């Protein structure tokens, strides 16, 4: 009875991690196609507890190995652990290779790519870190891009150029009296 409950829980977890793996896989393919169009990029930041994530990947890999090779269990018995192993051991570490920053067609933030035409708002937050807040027009959510201090001026110039060429256009509901220059928002 307990074995069946645990197997069901691991199956559901495996399905969730399968979705996460596919999503990260799509992002990686998109990045490898777009990397030649990079204008200003830098490596992704190391997530908190990154060492723990890698350790978890190794432990899950050993668990899958023991279950499949030593215990000779069928693959369906290790589906959940296998999907978690792929996520923590491969997909998440590979996603750090995605260059954050500015590309010909959009901005790659900490949480994904936003094409310029989908940007509905921009704001700089200056503090310990310089962060560009990008408002996604379609999803109506804020995405953050932490910009390294030495690249701040170049990032502002790129945004100004895209605003000047009208690749980025704010379609907010504010009253436009014609006195606001969108390029000043960059």
pLDDT tens across 119-156, in order? 988 999 988 899 999 998 887 889 999 999 999 999 99
Question: Mean pLDDT per segment of 10 residues, for the chain of length 186 residues?
Answer: 84 95 95 94 88 94 93 89 95 92 94 90 90 87 92 94 84 44 56
Residue pair 137/115 in contact (Cβ under 8 Å)? The answer is: no
| Residue-level pLDDT at 92 | 92
| Residue-level pLDDT at 183 | 54
| Residue-level pLDDT at 137 | 82
Produce one character per residue of 83-113: b if its CB has 16 or more CB atoms within 10 Å, e if not. bbbbbbbebbeebeebbbbbbeebbbbeeeb
| Residue-level pLDDT at 174 | 36
| Residue-level pLDDT at 7 | 85
């Amino acid at each position: 009875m307990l074995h069946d409950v645990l197997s069901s829980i691991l199956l559901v977890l495996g399905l969730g991690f399968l979705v996460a793996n596919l999503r990260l896989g799509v992002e990686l393919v998109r990045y490898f196609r777009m990397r030649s169009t990079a204008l200003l990029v830098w490596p992704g930041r190391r997530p908190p507890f990154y060492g723990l994530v890698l350790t978890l990947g190794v432990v899950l890999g050993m668990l899958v190995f023991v279950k499949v090779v030593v215990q000779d269990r069928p693959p369906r018995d290790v589906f959940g652990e296998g999907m978690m192993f792929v996520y923590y051991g491969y997909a998440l570490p590979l996603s750090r290779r995605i260059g954050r920053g500015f590309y010909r067609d959009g901005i790659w933030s900490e949480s994904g790519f936003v094409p310029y035409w989908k940007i509905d708002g921009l704001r700089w937050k200056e503090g310990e870190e310089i962060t560009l807040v990008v408002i996604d027009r379609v999803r109506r959510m804020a995405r953050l891009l932490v910009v390294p201090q030495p690249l701040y001026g170049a990032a502002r110039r790129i945004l100004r150029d895209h605003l000047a060429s009208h690749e980025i256009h704010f379609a907010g509901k504010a009253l436009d009296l014609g006195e606001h220059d969108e390029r000043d928002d960059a």
